[in-house]
Each structure stands twice: as C-alpha cells, then as structure tokens.
C-alpha cells in the first residue's frame, strides 16, 4: 500500500495535494469542490479586511505553457472566509484547512492576524507576502527588511500556526538572506512559490490582459524549474521544523514527485487546477502513486528532500 499522507506542524493530511491560493477558492461553492475532491486540504483565496472586486477584465489568460494573471485580490472579505472555516471546524472536525490573508497595509495585516488569533480558528494561516498584482503595492517578501520587521511584530501576539507565501527568488545570496530572516521566527511553513511576477504575454501585437497594460503573474509549466529551485534552496537552509509547501508547475505526478524530492511536505496545484478542474487531484495523486510503487517508496517521507547530486 502506497500512501501520500503528510504532516505540516501538528496537522495530518490524508493527501499531500491541495489547491494553490487563487484557484477554486473564491467562495463556498468553489471550496466545496476542493473538499469533495481527492485533495488533502484547501486554502482560501487571499482575504483582505474588506470585500474587493479586483482588477478590470480580462485579467486571466491561459497559454500553452501556463497562464498570466493580474487578478488584483478579488475576494469576499475576511469575515466571509473566517465564518466558513469556523463552520467547517464543526462539521469536519478531523480535517484542517488553510486561511490565506494579507492586509493592504501593514496595519491591516495586523488587524487581520489579531482577529484570527482572537477567533476560534484552529487551522493554519498562510500570510501572502507575494501578491504581484495590486497596482502600487510591492511584493512584500522582496523587501527583507520590511518582512523581518513585520514578522517580528506579528509573532509578539500571534501564537497560532503561521506560514508565509513567498515570491520566487533568483539569486543564491537572496536565498541566504531570506532564509536567515525566516529562521529567526517560529514559522510553521513557507510556501514556494507564488507566480513569477510581472511577466508579459503578447498575442499578435497586443497584450492579453487589461490591468497594468498586460503585466501579470506567470504560472504553469514556465515556473517549475524556478519553483523547484526555491523549494530546494530553502529546504537546504531552513530549520527542519519549518516545513515547505511546494507550488509551481505541477501538471503531473512526476512534477509533484520532483517537488517532494526537493523537500516539499505538501504540494499545491494552481494553473493545472484552473485548466482541468478538481478532477486533477485524483489524476495527479494516482500518477504519483504509480511512480512511488515503481520506485519502491511507501510514503513521501521515504524520498522527501532526498534529491541526488552529481
Ligand atoms: C493575486 C495574485 C497572486 O499571485 C497572489 O499571490 C495574490 C493575489 C491576485 O492578483 O489576486
């Protein structure tokens, strides 16, 4: 019997796959589809304090090798997702879910996290430090000074399991510097990676999405090598109690296998879930299990982080 069970902090999941924030998680109806699929958990759309419409349409475009998007954090507001998560805690007490959130200012982020701390929410919180698409708002985690100060302030009052969603880094020195900051804090997990920010896709002579004159986050096949590098760079550098969620370019069971080999304890699916729907969870899980059987691995701990070097 081959198992894709996994653990993050003190939480156990029947399957290591879940959605990536932004895909199939806008409202209850979409989240229920993930709950009723083979996924091991879900994460909500990143919530801000107030409801947001997001950027003007068209703001998402599929390409052969992935997608470009500039959604602009459309979401139903913090209370909507918190209410639903609290309801699920009663109806599905054995399952744990992730609450993605970020404020439009540091003050708002503190307001949100303090409310989570005061609430009965007993799942995991994923603080999104990497949205590339809100005009005028930088990807927070590219500014490590701000990130360190923010985390230092947060961990004064926040005592529940917290992780951070990161943008991709592209330089060894940045991996060193970022890991040195994250290792100072009792993070339960980091999630690598968010979309590669501010790419440009052109059709004939024209951009394909409206916001920011066509600039948007890139997902899908394009990002797998970058995602694997980030998962593994942080796996090599972080305290072993900070678990890693691998996100980026997972189309097949083989892609997921590579993320786990690089050190991921859980694997999120974004662009592929958007293209294929929640049936992707069963297909990719089965593909991973076939590969594990071929290689004689019974659990993901048998090969997690065990990437071989030449
Ligand atoms: C959005 C996109 C992201 O990649 C992200 O992390 C958060 C938000 C968005 O545009 O809504």
| 1: in domain | no
Range of the domain at 272: 6-302
The pLDDT assigned to 137 comes to 84
Count of CA atoms in the C-beta half-sphere (13 A) of 165: 29
Q: Name the one residue in this structure whose structure tokens are 């991709």.
A: 168
| 49: in domain | yes
The pLDDT assigned to 132 comes to 82
Give residue-wise pLDDT tens across range 53-64: 999 999 999 999
CATH, residue 221: 3.20.20.70
Whether 133 has a pLDDT exceeding 90, the answer reads: no
Whether 135 has a pLDDT exceeding 90, the answer reads: no
| 307: in domain | no
The pLDDT assigned to 136 comes to 83
CB 143 within 8 A of CB 168: no
Give the integer Cα–Cα distance in Å for 202 and 214: 8
Whether 34 has a pLDDT exceeding 90, the answer reads: yes
| 101: in domain | yes
Nearest to 242 by CA among 198, 286, 172, 305: 305
The pLDDT assigned to 272 comes to 98
CB 92 within 8 A of CB 128: no
The pLDDT assigned to 206 comes to 98
| 310: in domain | no
Q: Does 46 contact ligand 1 (Cβ within 6 A)?
A: yes
Give the integer Cα–Cα distance in Å for 38 and 16: 10
Give the integer Cα–Cα distance in Å for 131 and 70: 9
Q: Relative to the CA of 128, which ligand 1 atom is closest?
A: 6
CB 147 within 8 A of CB 141: yes
Q: Relative to the CA of 165, which ligand 1 atom is closest?
A: 6
Q: What residue owns the CA closest to ligand 1's atom 11?
A: 73
Give residue-wise pLDDT tens across range 261-302: 999 999 999 999 999 999 999 999 999 999 999 999 999 999
For the chain, counts of helices (H) and of strands (E) = 9, 15
Mean pLDDT of the chain: 98
pLDDT grade, residue 134 (50/70/90)? confident
Domains held by the chain: number: 1
User: Could you tell which of 55, 71, 166 is best to mutate to test the pocket of ligand 1, judged by most ligand atoms within 8 Å of the CB?
Assistant: 71
Q: Does 217 contact ligand 1 (Cβ within 6 A)?
A: yes
Could you give the 3-state DSSP secondary structure of residue 255?
helix
Q: Is the pTM of this model over 0.85?
A: yes
Question: What phi and psi, each to the nearest 5 degrees, are found at residue 101?
Answer: -155, 160
CB 151 within 8 A of CB 181: yes
Give the integer Cα–Cα distance in Å for 276 and 188: 30
| 308: in domain | no
Give the integer Cα–Cα distance in Å for 164 and 204: 38
Could you give the 3-state DSSP secondary structure of residue 22?
coil
DSSP state of 213: G
Q: Relative to the CA of 59, which ligand 1 atom is closest?
A: 10
| 90: in domain | yes
DSSP state of 101: E
């Amino acid at each position: 019997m081959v198992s894709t069970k996994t653990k993050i902090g003190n939480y156990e999941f029947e399957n290591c796959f879940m959605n990536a924030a932004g895909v199939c998680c806008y409202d209850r109806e979409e989240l229920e589809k993930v709950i009723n699929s083979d996924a091991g958990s879900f994460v909500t759309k990143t919530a801000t304090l107030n409801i947001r419409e997001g950027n003007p349409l068209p703001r998402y475009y599929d390409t052969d090798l992935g997608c470009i998007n500039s959604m602009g954090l459309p979401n139903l507001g913090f209370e909507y997702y918190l209410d639903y998560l609290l309801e699920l805690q009663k109806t599905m007490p054995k399952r744990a879910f992730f609450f993605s959130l970020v404020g439009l200012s540091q003050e708002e982020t503190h307001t949100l996290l303090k409310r989570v701390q005061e609430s009965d929410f007993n799942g995991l919180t994923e603080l999104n430090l990497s949205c590339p698409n809100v005009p005028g708002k930088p990807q927070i985690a590219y500014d490590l000074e701000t990130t360190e100060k923010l985390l230092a302030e947060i961990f004064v009052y926040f005592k529940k399991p917290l992780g951070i969603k990161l943008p991709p880094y592209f330089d060894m020195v940045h991996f060193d510097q970022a890991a040195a900051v994250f290792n100072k804090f009792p993070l339960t997990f980091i999630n690598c990676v968010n979309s590669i920010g501010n790419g440009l896709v052109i059709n004939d002579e024209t951009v394909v999405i409206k916001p920011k004159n066509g600039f948007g986050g890139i997902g899908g096949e394009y990002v797998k090598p970058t995602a694997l590098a980030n998962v593994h760079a942080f796996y090599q550098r972080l305290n072993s109690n900070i678990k890693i969620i691998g996100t980026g370019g997972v189309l097949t069971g083989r892609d997921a296998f590579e993320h786990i080999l690089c050190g991921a304890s859980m694997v999120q699916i974004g662009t592929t879930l958007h293209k294929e729907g929640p049936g992707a969870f069963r297909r990719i899980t089965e593909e991973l299990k076939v590969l594990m059987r071929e290689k004689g691995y019974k659990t993901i701990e048998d090969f997690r982080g065990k990437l071989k070097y030449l």
